[in-house]
């Protein structure tokens, strides 16, 4: 099952004023190795250096390390480690056929 998260990444386009962009990303929770708070991006957000007016000032950002078949990659996403863990690993209730 894939889980939708909001990824924060640097915008490397030439001639673009904004240094960061946000986009939806779908991840497979089975490939998550670890989740930790990204204090640097959280600080940039609180200082108003990120262009996202529609997010709460209490938003925390996390870095997720993903296993990709012998390689690892990191993603910065909106949400605290606890919020990401709950979204990715919550117990799913299933209805029984009756």
pLDDT tens figures, 22-46: 889 999 999 999 999 999 988 888 8
**Residue 26 near residue 2, CB atoms below 8 Å:** yes
Q: Where are the beta strands (DSSP E) in the chain?
A: 3-10, 20-27, 32-37, 61-67, 72-78
pTM: 0.79
**Residue 15: what pLDDT?**
57
**CB count in 10 Å sphere of residue 60:** 19
Say whether pLDDT at 61 is over 80.
yes
**Residue 97: what pLDDT?**
64
pLDDT in tens, 4-25: 999 988 877 665 556 788 889 9
pLDDT in tens, 65-85: 999 888 999 999 999 999 999
């Amino acid at each position: 099952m894939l889980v939708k998260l909001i990824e924060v990444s640097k915008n490397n386009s030439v001639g673009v004023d904004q240094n960061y962009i946000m986009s939806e990303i779908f991840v497979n929770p089975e490939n998550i190795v670890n989740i930790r708070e990204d204090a640097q991006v959280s600080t940039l957000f609180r200082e108003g250096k990120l262009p996202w007016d529609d997010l709460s000032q209490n938003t925390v950002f996390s870095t997720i390390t993903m296993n990709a078949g012998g390689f690892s990659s990191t993603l910065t996403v909106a949400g605290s480690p606890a919020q990401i863990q709950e979204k990715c690993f919550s117990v799913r209730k299933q209805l029984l056929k009756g």
